[in-house]
Amino acid sequence: MDPMNPPVQRPRGVLFYIGAAGLLAMMLIEGVAVIGRHIGVPLMGALEIVQVAIVPAACASMLIATLHGAHAAVNMLTERMPAAAQVWASRLGSVLAGLCFAALCAGSAWLAVEYWNSFEQTEVLHISFRPLRMVVTLAAAALSLVFFHRALRAGKDT
């Protein structure tokens, strides 16, 4: 990193704050739960609250990483390919990732529809799974669309 020219910081959007709120909620709840266990006053349902906070945090972080192209990648093979082959490899990778998230979206939607009227909820606090399944389904759909869009745009941004 060049100390004279620090990296330009991107503006933080709504997804950042959703993910940050989820992570902060998880830390706060787990901290209170650990302290409560040590002093003899356990926090009932702490695990369920943490599980609920993980869903928006994970979905937001996957969307942010995908939109910014910040996924971890090993390019030892692709960087040695000719430029045209690199474009096709990138396109294929994006299509496969899009298909993976489309399958996740379809499976999540299927579960949401299948269990919509079953009143599925957590055991201790009775938190409904419906909104969580909807968030996962929408995030998977968005991720799929981003990857398919990236596949169509591969090679045009160079």
The predicted pLDDT at position 100 comes to 97
The predicted pLDDT at position 5 comes to 67
The predicted pLDDT at position 2 comes to 61
Q: pTM (2 decimals)?
A: 0.83
| Domain spans, the chain | 12-72, 74-158
Q: Which amino acid is at 131?
A: P
- Mean pLDDT of each 10-residue bin along the chain, 158 residues long: 65 88 95 96 93 95 91 82 88 95 97 90 92 96 96 73
Q: Which two tokens stand for residue 39?
A: 């002093």
The predicted pLDDT at position 7 comes to 67
The predicted pLDDT at position 74 comes to 77
The predicted pLDDT at position 8 comes to 67
